Amino acid sequence: MIVSPAFRGKRYAVLGLARSGVATVEALLASGAKVIAWDSDAAKRDALILPGTGRGTTRSVVEGLPLNARAAIAAGGLPLHHPADGPPPPLGEDLSFADPLEIDLTGLDGVVVSPGVPLNRHPIAAKARAAGVPIIGDIELFAQARASLPAHRVVGITGTNGKSTTTALITHIVETAGIPTLMGGNIGLPILGRDPLPEGGVYVLELSSYQIDLTYGLDCDVAVLTNVTPDHLDRYDGFAGYAASKARLFAMQSECHVAVIATEDDPSRAIADTLTSARAQGERGRGHPDLIRVASTDIADQSAWPALQGPHNAQNAAIAIAVARALGIGEAAITEGLATYPGLPHRMERVAEKQGVLYVNDSKATNATSTAPALAAYPAIHWILGGLAKTGDLDACAPHFGHVRAAYTIGDAGEMFAALLAPHMPVSRAGTLERAVGAAAQAAKPGEVVLLSPACASFDQFKDYEARGEAFRALVGALA
């Protein structure tokens, strides 16, 4: 994990004990900080503790102790404290448990919250503000720890769509160049839980707007914006507020660093124009990095990149190429990285080719906007869709209906989608994924694609989109 003297002797409250919250608690404790942790789920609080320690010692901290200390803990200890038993242990303990909404926050160095906490509605925001305590996230803690880490660079990627693929693609190209790298942020494992890179390494961070809202000092060597379209408007004061959150990633940059912006939508162009204007007027200093504009039209040929098909992936590739060049990576490594990039699991993932038919798992596409790029990527598709609908239309997909040879609807939205699509294409009301895969496989001809891109959440028939994608993989694997 990342251990830094920047946190030694400081005190934090950590609200939310999912993966990133647990990694935050463990990194802070290992760095010599004192932590008040809380999650409304008692099971998550209990899971953080090594039973029998009585001091709320996390498993990771105990595993780092000498053998004799571990043996003493294993032999017993004070009873485990539960918040229901009364007040938490005094702050002299390394780890205690209390709801930040019910204690005095005065004097804390920060309240660390999960990006999922809606700061525009959650009372912790007003309480922390009244106490003069900053609300931060794990990315801000990483930013504060950077000075104590071996010399490195950071690439930060934000945007409404395409950030995960772009993050993974950049990571793959950096690895192909033989440079130590870690992928984190909104993708992969929590960054504070990872071991630091050796000197010369590159951290590649996917950053949601929520994470940027909780970050104040992340000076990315290269910052990236893929696009800005309406999203998460329940958390912002209109679309302008959401776009401003994305723009803050560049405001945190130093002038010697680089901004890469795909300028194919009006809000992204406006952010790029603001940076250009500031530099043209001589407003040097923090917040005005060098700017590289890119677009999908920069890419003339994607034929050598099997996992990067479609116009949206042309944009992702254009961004990744610009970032790699800004990092000083040579053209040979860039070319090899683009050609060998395997794609993300469940996102336009090429599962198999059988009897000339390609099977693609795009289970991560849980709304029509996410499905549209997959439909645009292939000219002859047998489309499996349905599940728990987020909207009552498929308007974002309509421009690409001409690519669909037939649709196979499943799940709760099956009937609704079948009625929407019937005027435009043949539709099979398959009902289940198993029947849909079987019917599509029987109908598809060599050169065509069987595509699972549901445009729906999965919770009607599957635990999550990953379980749905894994079921698709297994069904394809079982085909003759």
Non-local CB neighbours of 462 within 8 Å, separated by 6+ positions: 387, 468, 471
Non-local CB neighbours of 268 within 8 Å, separated by 6+ positions: 225, 227, 228, 261, 262
Instruction: Given the residues 34, 127, 152, 186, select the one marked as catalytic.
Output: 186
Instruction: Given the residues 34, 163, 382, 403, select the one marked as catalytic.
Output: 163
232 is catalytic: yes
Non-local CB neighbours of 364 within 8 Å, separated by 6+ positions: 344, 346, 347, 370, 465, 469
Could you tell me which of 163, 158, 186, 265 has the C-alpha nearest to residue 19?
186
Residue 190: both structure tokens together: 């929590």
Beta strand pairing status for 427-431 and 404-410?
parallel
Decide: residue 344, CB within 10 A, 0-12 exposed, 13-18 middle, 19+ buried. middle
Dist. CA 195–CA 231, nearest whole Å = 33
163 is catalytic: yes
Sign of CA dihedral 349, 358, 389, 312: positive
Instruction: Given the residues 122, 232, 354, 390, select the one marked as catalytic.
Output: 232
Residue 475: both structure tokens together: 């069904």
Residue 269: both structure tokens together: 């162009």
Dist. CA 194–CA 188, nearest whole Å = 10
127 is catalytic: no
Residues annotated as part of the active site: 163, 186, 232
